[in-house]
Amino acid sequence: MEDLGQSWKKLSLSEEEDRKVDLTSNKKEGKCVLVAKFSMNLDVEKVLMGETWSFDRHLVVLGQYDRSIEVNELKFRSTFFWVQIHGLPYSHLNVETALKFGDSLGVVSKPKDISEMKGGTFMRVRVEVDVMKPLCRGRHVTWDEASEGWIYFKYERLPNICYWCGHLSHNDKDCIIWLQSKGSM
């Protein structure tokens, strides 16, 4: 079969040919729902307490199903992360401060053993994070009337994330924002 591109390569593109076909909206985020049944509530608790889960470095979001709606109507919007809080001065390396930062991120799950929140030079807090929003990198902080600063977060067991927009639903190559920027980002 004749390759028209080869034969006509010396000709410039017509206006018609130069019009781009935009396929960026064809990219669909994968959605796969797996239903698992547990015979003991204790096992369910163990699995849920083990969040964050991932498979092949892709985030796995869990939810409890009470059979009141269709499985495909379930919304998977959040997961728990252990978030490390870095940049705190020694005087603020305490549970109270960690809970304040946790509250600013989402719903905090306070562990039975508070020592789990102490990381040595940083604090840790377990927070339910909205996975539909970009992950927060940190927070501005006011220490007192005269001074402010920046505290940064590290997410333990962080799966793939898009470093263009901060979302967990896709990786860098599939980012609509990056694709629409046409490489100018």
- The residue among 14 and 25 lying less far from Zn ion, judged by its C-beta, is 25
| Distance of alpha carbon 139 from alpha carbon 137, whole angstroms | 7
- The residue among 109 and 160 lying less far from Zn ion, judged by its C-beta, is 160
Alpha helix stretches (DSSP H) within 41-175? 41-49, 95-105
- The residue among 158 and 165 lying less far from Zn ion, judged by its C-beta, is 165
Q: Which amino acid is at 90?
A: Y
Among residues 105, 155, 164, 169, the one that binds Zn ion under rule CB under 5 A: 164
144-163: contacts with Zn ion (CB under 5 A): 162
CB of 169 to Zn ion, least distance (A): 8
Q: How many residues touch Zn ion (CB under 5 A)?
A: 4
CB neighbour list of residue 171: distance below 8 Å, 6 or more residues apart: 160, 161, 162
- The residue among 24 and 121 lying less far from Zn ion, judged by its C-beta, is 24
- The residue among 112 and 182 lying less far from Zn ion, judged by its C-beta, is 182
Q: How far is CA 97 from the centre of its chain?
A: 23
Residue 175 found at the interface with Zn ion (CB under 5 A): yes
Q: Identify the three-state secondary structure at position 153.
A: strand
Yes or no: say if 65 and 74 are a contact pair by the CB < 8 Å rule.
yes
CB of 175 to Zn ion, least distance (A): 3
CB of 181 to Zn ion, least distance (A): 11
Q: How far is CA 159 from the centre of its chain?
A: 8
Query: How many DSSP H helices and E strands does the chain contain?
Result: 5, 7
Residue 165 found at the interface with Zn ion (CB under 5 A): yes
Query: Where does this chain touch Zn ion (CB under 5 A) — which range of 56-64, 80-88, 100-108, 170-178?
Result: 170-178
Residues that bind Zn ion (CB under 5 A): 162, 164-165, 175
